[in-house]
């Protein structure tokens, strides 16, 4: 019987949705993600699979996991995992295979709409007896007719492209690994250079993993290329944007605004200067989290574990 250790901070109501897809022959043990290291190290020698949410596990636990066949992440991001150590120990690492791509894509679109239609301002106005909207539409916009640039056209980026197309946007993309012409045509997207995308786009939305090559991808030079009326959206990882450069650009209206689900440091410093700016819309790293996401993640993850148990290669391997 395969032994599975699920380290998580999810509440039981969510965990039960996730575990609906656990095969009856799998022995699943649930432990808190912050289980003391000595207790975790004591458990690991008999474990065949580890499922992580959030994606963190100490080195000592991995070094004693002699039976471990797969380190399975519930999230898509893998920047908190020591991939070099996992390769040294011959432990494959997989993410959720885009199981939360629907959730992130919808959140991205919601942030664009909320910023364009100034929902937070309008809500506040209604509550304070200011029924007449904001400046008769002088600072509210439609997605229709805009040029949207997607940086990173993986599963999430592709879903965002479909949504933006449905709203009437012209969609550009930049990715180090281009899609096939057939996929580009099906998605209604055009590949271009990063600089060209930044110069042309009214909306720039980021969907790349955090790696050495993407840390600080958007900094002073890139922000200076953007239109003064451009909106920058980030639902991937905070360090992809240089926050000091972004704060400077927003403070001096070099771009119109930013919609950020992620920040460079989480939880953030309450004195973060971005919090003082009216042209910033913030959510607390929740783009990929809805009630509907957990069955999708659970189905994918337990199918992946079964593949490995049968001797097949895992899906969505990142290392």
What whole-number distance in Å separates Cα of residue 295 and Cα of residue 45? Answer: 29
Query: Catalytic pick from 59, 224, 266, 312?
Result: 266
Neighbours of 270 (CB within 10 A): 6
162 has catalytic annotation: no
Query: Catalytic pick from 107, 237, 296, 297?
Result: 237
Query: Catalytic pick from 117, 118, 285, 297?
Result: 285
285 has catalytic annotation: yes
Burial class, 168, CB count within 10 angstroms (exposed 0-12 / middle 13-18 / buried 19+): exposed
297 has catalytic annotation: no
CA–CA distances in Å: residue 170 to residues 86, 106, 109, 218, 227: 41, 18, 15, 22, 16
Burial class, 171, CB count within 10 angstroms (exposed 0-12 / middle 13-18 / buried 19+): buried
How far is residue 7 CA from its own chain's centroid?
A: 20
What whole-number distance in Å separates Cα of residue 232 and Cα of residue 257? Answer: 6
Burial class, 51, CB count within 10 angstroms (exposed 0-12 / middle 13-18 / buried 19+): buried
Q: Which residues are catalytic?
A: 237, 266, 285
């Amino acid at each position: 019987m395969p032994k599975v250790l699920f380290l998580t901070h999810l509440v039981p109501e969510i965990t039960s949705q996730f575990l609906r897809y656990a095969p009856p022959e799998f022995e699943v043990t649930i432990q808190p993600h912050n289980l003391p290291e000595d207790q975790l190290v004591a458990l690991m020698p008999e474990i065949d699979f580890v499922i992580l949410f959030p994606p963190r596990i100490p080195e000592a636990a991995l070094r004693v996991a002699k039976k471990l066949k797969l380190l399975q992440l519930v999230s898509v991001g893998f920047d908190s995992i020591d991939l070099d150590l996992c390769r040294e120990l011959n432990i494959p690492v997989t993410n959720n295979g885009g199981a939360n791509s629907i959730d992130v894509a919808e959140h991205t679109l919601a942030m664009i709409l909320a910023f364009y239609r100034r929902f937070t301002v309008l809500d506040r106005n209604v509550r304070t007896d200011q029924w007449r909207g904001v400046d008769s539409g002088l600072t509210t916009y439609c997605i229709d007719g805009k040029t949207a640039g997607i940086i990173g056209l993986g599963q999430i980026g592709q879903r965002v492209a479909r949504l933006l197309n449905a709203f009437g946007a012209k969609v550009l993309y930049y990715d180090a690994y281009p899609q096939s012409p057939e996929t580009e045509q099906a998605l209604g997207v055009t590949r271009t250079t990063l600089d060209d995308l930044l110069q042309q786009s009214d909306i720039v939305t980021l969907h790349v993993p955090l790696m050495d090559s993407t840390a600080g991808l958007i900094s002073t030079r890139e922000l200076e290329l953007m239109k003064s009326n451009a909106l920058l959206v980030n639902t991937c990882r905070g360090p992809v944007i240089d926050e000091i450069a972004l704060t400077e650009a927003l403070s001096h209206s070099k771009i119109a605004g930013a919609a950020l689900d992620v920040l460079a440091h989480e939880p953030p410093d309450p004195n973060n200067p971005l919090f003082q700016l009216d042209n910033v819309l913030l959510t607390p790293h929740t783009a990929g989290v809805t009630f509907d996401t957990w069955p999708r993640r659970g189905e994918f993850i337990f199918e992946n574990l079964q593949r490995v148990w049968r001797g097949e290669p895992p899906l969505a391997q990142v290392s």
